[in-house]
Amino acid sequence: MPLARLRVSCLVSRGDPPILIQWFKDGQSLTPAKAAEQDIVIQAIDEYASFLAIASLNVRHAGNYTCLASNSAAQDAKTARLTVNVPAYWVQEPVDAFALHKSDLRMTCQANGNPKPLIEWKRATATAAGSLRNYVPVGGSGRGAVLENGTLVMRNVQRSDEGSYLCQATNGIGPAISKVTQLTVKSAAYFTVDKETFTTPLGGAAALDCRAYGDLPITATWFYKDRPLKEGAYDRLAFQTQNLADGFRSSLKISRSQRGDSGNYACKVSNEFGTATKQLTFLVQEAPEEPKNVAVAATNSRMANVGWTAGYDGSSAVINFIVEWKLVKAGESKWSVEHTPGNSSSYTLKNLRPATRYDIRVRAENLLGQSGPSAVVQILTDEEAPSEVPRDVVVTAASSTTINLTWKPPPPEAHNGLLQGYIVGYRVENSTEGFAYKTVKSDRTGGRKEEAIVLKDLRKYTPYAIVLQAYNAMGSGPKLDLTSVWTKEDVPVEAPGSITATAESSQRISLAWEPLRRESINGILLGYKILYKPLTDWTSQPDIKIVQDTICVLDGLRKFTNYTLQVLAFTKVGDGVVSSTVYSHTLPDVPSHPADIKTLVTSPTSILVTWSEPEEKNGFIKQYNVYLRAPNGKKDKKRVVYPDSGSLNKYEFHDLNTNVQYEFWVTAETEVGEGAASFRMKQAPEATGPARIATFPMTIKAHIGGSAVLPCLTVGFPSPALDWIRGGRIIRNNGINDVLESGSLSVKNIQTSDAGLYTCRVKNIYGDDTVEFTLQVQRPPVPPNVSVSAATAESLVVDWQMLYDGGATVKGFTLYYRPTLGSWKSVRFPASLHSYTLKHLMCGQNYQIYMTAYNDVGPSDSSDTVDAKTIGQTPISSNDKSLLVANVSSVLVFLSTWENGGCPIRSFAMKYQAFAEGNVWKSVGELIPGDAESITISDLAPETLYRLKLTAVNEAGTTEHEYSFGTLTETGEVMMPEVVLQKEKSVLPFHEDPSKMIATGGGICGLLLMAVIIAIFVVKRRNRKYSSSGVNIRRDITPLCKLQLTPKHSQSPWQSVAQFSADPKNHTVIPLSSPARVWMPPARNNNESFYGTPKQLNTAIRPTNQHDIQIASLQFEEDEHYQTPSSNRIIKRDESTPDSGFSGSNVKHSHGDSFRRDSMAPTRFSTGSTTSESDNIHKLNVSAHKNRPKPAQRKRPLTNRSKQMAMGTASLLRARPAPATSSSPSSAEDIPFTDYCTSRVPPRRQHQPASVNTIQFPPPPPTHLDDYEDYREPSQYRQQRRAHEVINLQHRYSVNVRGGVEDDDFAGGQEDMVDDDPLQPTTTV
């Protein structure tokens, strides 16, 4: 098609030159160079016109063309769009195509033009007549698609896609262009299904079909597990092929299918166009196998997650796993069942019981059935806090400060683990304070039927709310709220306060005080007691008045007297604290009459009146009134006399009428008033004056060593003569006893001997008179007689008795006391007391006590010192087996098993060391509080022996105790030997304790002496020889080892001796020359575990002189838990004669008896180890261990080893001669469990080859193996063994078998010993 041309002009219509015209295409300037590149010519006609010309238009010339005219003033532009249309034309014409079946196809068809042509693919289809073609569009959906560039893409080409295809391009510019191409499809061998599964029951027939498609010819090859199968090479396989119209078929037939036929098969087909492989899975189906690796991945108290690995599924998908479980307990056989989908590998069992053992197993299930059960795994669910409260709770108030609480544990099924103890909480009812808590450790020994606690230091007479709950390692169970309980009443602990005492009269005092606080009463207040007495009544007990109010009036008191007053409150229990003393003085009153009066004639006109003081002054005497009344007198005369302290009260009347009788009397007067008159005396002055004494009789008190004046005033005329008389003798002046000018007697340096009656005598010609005076000599009291009548842990009751008060009233006592080596303390109390309780003393301490009394003279000497002791002693160490509970790496020490000796334990101190560490002790923290129930020592080494020193301190002193224990093995087994030593030590060091030094020295000397004797004895025995058939054979007995049978657990029920002996399982025949073997006693299924073992089994073989035979002896010590047979049986049988029966003899069970029995023939012992060929000595090595004490109710599942040791007996040991040398009958020694049983066996001839069989019972680590040359001692036991060498020395014996001389007479003599009775009940060894 000819190409078009273009010419465009640009004319400027107006504007001032110079004008610049520029051309742009699509915004880009068309410079001359750029225009030339695009075949564009730009030509300027003049200054106002320009032309753009394109000689040959092309699509690339299309665009926006702009003409821009500009001058210095402005610019203007015009733009025009150039469009170039081009008809469609081929860029790449389509061609015929070839494609393989199921391959992808690309058919290219590319055209160009402007606008861009539309390319369309069409496929030819036959018309209804079948001859003409009709083209329909292809692509847009399905497997075919037309790309933007016109390429036809077909995926997964099928045979149906073969035919004619038309590609047509058009853009509306000119006619459309088109081209027809041919598509040819060829097919390689292929499968419509490339994977298939075939199944058949085990033993059935199956046909595996391989259907292929593609161009023939097609060949097929079969594979099994990537290995080709050859036709005719297998008797159960058959091959079959067939050509089909649309492909090919090959079949593999399998008869009598087996599990091994299952697997992956492949059918490979091929033709000239390609190959294809079909995977066939053949499954021979059966019931699945049991799951493997059943294990518990996680547990808690109520659930367990069980995991497993699926076993062989039987080539059929497992549809279910069946989890079965049941309790581990006697008689439980029913399995609970849970189903879980077949695709699971774990299941969580729920609603389990806490701290419970379960057996768990798993089954698998598919369409063909269930598998057998898996291996059983046993779990122990975690503990959980107890789920119920304690039962049968009893709460009682024991005292005013204590409450007793007893209860029984919750039901066992509610323990949810090992019940460790109980928590008791208490507080005052309705109080806002929190609960105070105490713990009570649970009884693990089973000895207590109920638990108990005493709550101490409570408030008196107070209601308490109490809660109780059990706890284990996981926490506390539900609380039991108990009914509130009141503590008992007690005496008030406070004294009434703010006491006021007011004297209202001379005989009345009123008191008032504040009431007690409610919390100090400690009960129901019954009232108050007022204790009162005059202050000067030192020895009298106070009077008591009881009132219910807080005021009181005391009547009938002494006038003008100072009273001591005390008040206390009381309940029904007793009196409370006495208040401090208050003093109140009754008011004064008029005095009583003067006690006595005398009238004496001093001259014919005068009378002397004397009088003594009133007995009750009732105040301070202000004056005395002396009255005189004349005969028929109307008015009395009154004279006032003021008292003169220390002088005789007197007044002399003068100017009286001689021989006229007058009446005289006297009154005393206080500030209150005049008192009563004295006796009225009548006297007349006389011309004669008889001798009279004006002084009154009196008692004069004087301190020892002091002085006293005894007054004696005389009257009379003429003047009378005066004498002082004592004891019927007149007292002469001697410098000590002197009569003064006044007539008084002066006594100096008074001693006790001066006490007594003194008489003043006067006399003249008209008369005489006497007055007696008593002199009392006062001294300090005699010390009281002191004793201790009662004692408690914190108090002593001290009693005393006064022997003599020293002539003066005792006013009080002073008590001195101190603990031994302590400082003295003192306490004072009034003279009215004769008993006193010392309180708040130290528990369990010795005290020294003495007293003094005091009066006005002074204190007495000290009484004799009394020694007394408060109740209590040092802590008492515990020997309880439950004190120590050892674990693998720790030990739990129950401190509560120690007794406090009556004095509360203040603290514990603890240190420990491993036996192998010598004297290196490790302390356990700081001081442990004395009320601690238990403490755990951690970080211990497994299977190690330890020493533990435990020290307890209370007020009475210190106790130290040493224990030994062994930690468990890493598998939780009890360490063997488990040696528990208990040794109480004095607090004194060794070098300060003479008894220890003497005992130790004596023990060492004794051991040395015994060692020398034993050494001499052994040397002599080794040197002894005897001759037999001309051959000397040396005998040797050396202590080496001791065999002990100690089963740990047993699931075997107890059997009678007859039952045990009748069971052939309990008999073991050891063949000749057999190697050393371990005898395993039979174990029977029984869930009851027990401890019952013979403690010791001693085996020794020694020669004797009688008949030159050897004696085999077995010795036993029986455990207290073991059932002792009443008789024993020694049985034998000739093993060389199979039909021979047993023969034997009974031995009664006794302590210390022995039994000897002659055997029928020489006995052979199969070889153990030969120590010397020359003298034919053989050694029987027997491992040993010490019997363990019974643990505190610990049960564990039986291990293989414990099953081997489950019976407390050994098997029947038979020994027979070697076949090559002798056919002598064998003898079997049945040694029962007696204390000592001995059986004789004949010797062997020296020339016969000797052998020894060794029976090895399962041993613990050997305790003493220095003599075993062939034993390699584990390093972990070496240090322990050496540390315990001395401890276990007494458990070592040796067994040496010696050659002897056969005595021909022996065989004949033994017939009498044979017992033809049937086999008797026996326990076999």
SS (H, E, C) 750-805: CCHHHCEEEEEEEEECCEEEEEEEEEEEECCCCCCEEEEEEECCCCEEEEEECCCC
Q: Which of these ranges, 394-408, 816-830, 989-1003, has the smallest mean pLDDT?
A: 989-1003
Of the candidates 522, 637, 621, the residue with the CA atom closest to the CA atom of residue 569: 522
Has residue 1174 got a pLDDT over 50? no
Does pTM top 0.95 for this prediction?
A: no
Task: Locate all alpha helices (DSSP H) within 411-523, ordered by sequence.
Answer: 518-521
What mean pLDDT do residues 389-407 have?
93
Query: Other CB atoms closer than 10 Å to residue 1066's CB: what's the count?
Result: 19
Has residue 399 got a pLDDT over 60? yes
Distance of CA 566 to CAs 504, 508, 551, 578, Å? 18, 16, 13, 6
Provide the pLDDT confidence category of residue 991 given band limits of 50, 70 and 90.
very low
* Strand order through the sheet with 721-726: 698-703, 767-778, 756-764, 721-726, 729-730
DSSP class of residue 202 equals: T
Q: Which element (helix H / strand E) includes 213? A: strand 206-213
Has residue 1087 got a pLDDT over 80? no
Has residue 1236 got a pLDDT over 90? no
What pLDDT is recorded for position 1186?
31
Per the document, the length of the chain is 1325
**Token digits of residue 902:** 């009556």
Has residue 569 got a pLDDT over 70? yes
Has residue 775 got a pLDDT over 70? yes
Q: Are 66 and 152 in contact (CB under 8 A)?
A: no
Residue 738 burial (CB < 10 Å; 0-12/13-18/19+)? Answer: middle
- C-alpha dihedral, 6 to 7 to 13 to 14, nearest 10°: 110
Q: Are 99 and 42 in contact (CB under 8 A)?
A: no
**Token digits of residue 11:** 């004319």
Provide the pLDDT confidence category of residue 1065 given band limits of 50, 70 and 90.
low
DSSP class of residue 1160 equals: S
Q: How far apart are CA 431 and CA 953, in angstroms?
A: 36
Which residue carries 């369409």 as its tokens?
A: 367
Helix, strand and coil percent figures for the chain, each rounded to 5: 10, 45, 50
What mean pLDDT do residues 274-302 have?
91
Provide the pLDDT confidence category of residue 632 given band limits of 50, 70 and 90.
confident
Distance of CA 15 to CAs 11, 45, 69, 72, 74, Å? 11, 16, 9, 10, 9
Distance of CA 1178 to CAs 574, 788, 1021, 1168, 1223, Å? 88, 77, 17, 7, 21
Radius of gyration of the chain, Cα coordinates, nearest whole angstrom:
66
Which residue carries 């995977």 as its tokens?
A: 279
Provide the pLDDT confidence category of residue 464 given band limits of 50, 70 and 90.
very high
Q: How far apart are CA 239 and CA 244, in angstroms?
A: 17
Q: How far apart are CA 743 and CA 735, in angstroms?
A: 16
Cα angle: 83, vertex 85, 88; to 5 degrees:
150
Q: Are 460 and 518 in contact (CB under 8 A)?
A: no
Encode pLDDT of 583-592 as tens digits: 999 999 999 9
* Strand order through the sheet with 649-653: 597-603, 606-611, 649-653
**Is the backbone peptide bond immediately before 115 cis, with ω within 30 degrees of 0?**
yes
Of the candidates 575, 579, 465, 429, the residue with the CA atom closest to the CA atom of residue 511: 579
What pLDDT is recorded for position 740?
92
Residue 1148 burial (CB < 10 Å; 0-12/13-18/19+)? Answer: exposed
Has residue 1030 got a pLDDT over 80? no
Mean of pLDDT over the chain: 77
Q: How far apart are CA 352 and CA 350, in angstroms?
A: 5
Q: How far apart are CA 609 and CA 651, in angstroms?
A: 5
Q: How far apart are CA 621 and CA 672, in angstroms?
A: 10
Q: How far apart are CA 913 and CA 1160, in angstroms?
A: 57
Strand partners, 534: 563
DSSP string, 73-101: S-EEEEEEEE---EEEEEEE----EEEET
Encode pLDDT of 483-509 as tens digits: 889 999 999 999 999 999 999 999 999
Cα angle: 1213, vertex 1215, 1217; to 5 degrees:
175
Has residue 677 got a pLDDT over 90? yes
Query: Other CB atoms closer than 10 Å to residue 851's CB: what's the count?
Result: 23
Distance of CA 568 to CAs 545, 581, 1049, Å? 11, 11, 70
Amino acid at position 1074, single letter:
S
Q: How far apart are CA 965 and CA 1188, in angstroms?
A: 12
Q: How far apart are CA 349 and CA 306, in angstroms?
A: 7
Task: Locate all alpha helices (DSSP H) within 1024-1045, ordered by sequence.
Answer: none
Amino acid at position 483, single letter:
T
What pLDDT is recorded for position 245?
82
Q: Are 1095 and 1044 in contact (CB under 8 A)?
A: yes
**Token digits of residue 993:** 């304790």
Exposure pattern of 631-665 as b/e (b: 16+ CB <10 Å)?
eeeeeeeeeeeeeeeeeebbbbbeebeeeeebbbb
What mean pLDDT do residues 1009-1029 have?
64
Q: Which of these ranges, 824-833, 894-903, 1100-1109, has the smallest mean pLDDT?
A: 1100-1109
Query: Other CB atoms closer than 10 Å to residue 1110's CB: what's the count?
Result: 22
Encode pLDDT of 594-606 as tens digits: 999 999 999 999 9
Of the candidates 43, 38, 50, the residue with the CA atom closest to the CA atom of residue 12: 50
What pLDDT is recorded for position 691?
94
**Token digits of residue 510:** 């009123």
Q: Are 529 and 567 in contact (CB under 8 A)?
A: yes
Q: Are 578 and 495 in contact (CB under 8 A)?
A: yes
Q: Are strands 274-285 and 195-201 parallel, antiparallel or unpaired?
A: parallel
Q: Are 212 and 244 in contact (CB under 8 A)?
A: no
Q: Are 1050 and 1201 in contact (CB under 8 A)?
A: no
Q: How far apart are CA 764 and CA 742, in angstroms?
A: 17
Q: Are 1061 and 1321 in contact (CB under 8 A)?
A: yes
* Strand order through the sheet with 133-137: 97-100, 177-186, 163-170, 118-126, 133-137
- C-alpha dihedral, 341 to 345 to 350 to 354, nearest 10°: 160
What mean pLDDT do residues 282-288 have?
91
Cα angle: 1172, vertex 1176, 1181; to 5 degrees:
70
